[in-house]
Structure 1
Amino acid sequence: MTPPGWHPDPGYSGNGPAQERWWDGAQWTGHVRASPGAARRRGIRIGVGVTVGAVVLAAIGGGVYLLGKDGGPPGTAASSPSAVPDPPGAPDDGEKGGEGNGGENGDGQGPGGQLPPTEPGFATDLAAGISLPVPQGWKGTSGAVGAGLTTGEHACPGDTAETCVRGGVFSAPAAAMKLTAGTPEEAAKKDIALNAQESYGGKSYGKISSHEELKSEAVTVAGGKGYVVRWKVVTEKGDDGYVESLVFPSPTSKDMLVVVRSGFDVNKDAPKLSVLDDITRGIKAASGAGGGAGGAV
């Protein structure tokens, strides 16, 4: 579990000066500061509704999380500073900022310059304590908070100036997205509508006219009892899509829920749904992070 410290801001939209936000060990606080070596980066729009940094998907700020209209994860805002005593190096009130643009470290480092562990064939989410298997031909990116997989870049149907992908899978600790439902089932059922809207309800695909539930069931992921919900959505522009919200306990911290959001276009050039199932089965505890490993059944 990632200890308290400065991390790329979850509200970063890819525009303006980069910032870091304070993670108190359980939640994001309202404290922000300029990111060291901050530089403006142009993000890309991908088919599952994420604006991602051009260099990495490090932490939330690099775009691992599905970004809302305000540039932050859907339904989120910086939480109030924690009531627990601040650790050394914690910000004081003078460093507390507003909700503007956040930032990202170009190297995706965690506290004290800690880099996510690297493992061939996997993208690691250090905070969640998991690794996502990278399918052949896909791009995988590890981060101090979050990890992502993408494939099939193309011009977005509703905004050709932006870049979309045919498939994307992204992980995040549920607390960082302010997803506070108590059980994996409750969280997955709550998250799927947000996932669908952020994935296919924006200007890149137009509004969602309808959806069909394809799956809603318990699943074991990385040795933990989780829950998955999958929808097929009908869009106004371009391809329809499949969206999935998977929630399960972190293999390294049983009190932490992990959210994995996925989106695949319904298109002959998009990955088959069997690839999404393979990714789910291949999720495991991050190498060296402790805890048990194991796939989904």
Structure 2
Amino acid sequence: MTTPPGWYRDPSAPHTERWWDGTAWTEHRRAPGTEQQGHQQQQLQQSHPQSYGPAPTVPMPAADGSGRAKAVALTTAAAVLVAAIVTGAVVLSKDDGDGDPGAIAAPTTSVPADPPSSSSSSEAAPEPSADPGRVVDELNGITLPLLDGWARPENVSDTDVVMTTPGTYDCPGDDGLCRHGTVFSRTVTANDEKSTAALARDDISDAADLAYDRNKIDERPFHGITSHRLVEQGQVAVAGRTGYFVRWRVRTEAGPGGYVQSMAFPSSVGSESLVMVRYVFDAGAEGPPLADMDRITKGIRPVGDADTGGGVGSSIGPTQ
């Protein structure tokens, strides 16, 4: 036997009423009403007669027209009605716990009503959609601007990838698919080095090798690196923190080669672990503009802070 839908005392807030939909509590609550219990029981029995059993048969004396016979009949009917109400209250209070309104005595002041509409203001509002112009790296506590010509990663196995240029092309070396531009973000955990300059200088060679020499699955999409040269390096402000970057121009056996940049800076969250952002841009007309490296760097923000920017030469502090 189930408790019918209706307003009942809220197990977690006895001074309020909560809507029970027949199987579970909903999030709809209200202040207690003022209707009489008799009216409620009548509606409950009419809408769910199976919950209370068949209506009792009231023995009636023979109709002799006397006032005494009528009084006896009314008294008997009232006694049966009281017994039915008490029985209903006992049935509703059988189960234990706060998962069913049957654990609470039958309400005495409210009448079951239609459930509130789905547009009720008490329902939780949907969460606002993510900013389509930014990519969030929750682990490292930063967001990066999603510039024109860039997209969120799709069909990418490396979890450190935060954005790529749209689409792929056939690699000029070993069989496979390549992308014209990729940006990575990861936490530095492999060593105890605390100098952002040292980390960036050490990382740039690995970044170049993975991008243009031999990748993680031992393929050589560009048939290897033939040479590289330093383009630029120095301090940089990233998300309000002082970091360091190193940028190389890489030439390859097959294809136009590209540009690789390693940039290290302290995170603004948690224990302020060091963060490494890598940029890999193909050279040539098909590659993204080299200026996008600086534009993305300047637009990196701490999560939840839309005003703290950066860039080369912007608010460089003493921390390295």
TM bracket, shorter-chain basis: 0.5 to 0.7
Name the SS for the 1:139 alignment partner: coil
Distance 2:184 2:262 in 1: 10
Identical positions, percent: 36
Q: 1:121 aligns with which of 129, 133, 141?
A: 133
Which of 223, 226, 237 is the aligned partner of 1:220?
237
CA distance in 2 between counterparts of 1:210 and 1:180 reads 30
Question: Is the Cα contact below 8 Å between 1:201 and 1:207 reproduced in 2?
Answer: yes
Gaps of 5+ in 2: 1-128, 215-219, 315-320
Mapped contact 2:236–2:244 kept (Cα < 8 A): yes
Corresponding residue for residue 299 of structure 2: 282
State the 1:180 CA deviation: 3.6
Report what 1:293 is aligned to.
Answer: 308
Asked whether 1:157 is paired with 2:172, we answer yes
Inter-partner Cα distance in structure 1 for 2:233 and 2:310: 18
Distance in 2, Cα, partners of 1:148 & 1:239: 24
Q: Which has the larger radius of gyration?
A: 2
Within 5 Å, which residues of 2 pair with 1:51-90? none
Aligned alpha-carbon RMSD (Å): 2.3
The Cα of 1:216 is off from its aligned counterpart by 1.2
Q: CA deviation at 1:295?
A: 2.3
Report deviation, 1:172. Answer: 0.8
**Map of 1:167 onto structure 2:** 181
Residues 126-155 of structure 1 show CA distances to partners (whole Å, capped at 9, x for unaligned) of 11001111111311249xx74511115211
- Paired with 2:249 and 2:171, the residues of 1 have a C-alpha distance of 19
Superposition map of 1:250-265 within 5 A: 250-253=267-270, 255-265=272-282
SS at match of 1:275: helix
Query: Structure 1 residue aligned with 2:194, among 182, 186, 195?
Result: 182
Segments of 5+ residues of structure 1 without an aligned counterpart are 1-116
Give every structure 1 segment of 4 or more consecutive aligned residues whose post-TM-superposition deviation is greater than 6 Å: none
Taking structure 1 as reference, are residues 180 and 194 closer, same or farther at Cα in structure 2, changes over 3 Å only? farther
Once the two structures are overlaid, the 10-residue window that deviates more, 250-259 or 276-285, is: 250-259
Give the Å deviation of 1:174: 1.1
**Which structure shows the higher strand fraction?**
1
Cα deviations by residue, 1:81-103 (Å, 9 ceiling, x for unpaired):
xxxxxxxxxxxxxxxxxxxxxxx
Residue 293 of structure 1, CA deviation: 2.8
String of CA shifts for 1:147-206, please: whole Å, max 9, x gaps: 51111521111133x21111111111112xx15422111110010000010010121012
Structure (1 or 2) with the greater helix fraction: 2
Q: State the one-letter code of the partner of 1:174.
A: V
Structure 1 residue 254 displacement after superposition: 5.6
Contact 1:125 1:146 in 2 (8 A): no
- Give the aligned length: 175
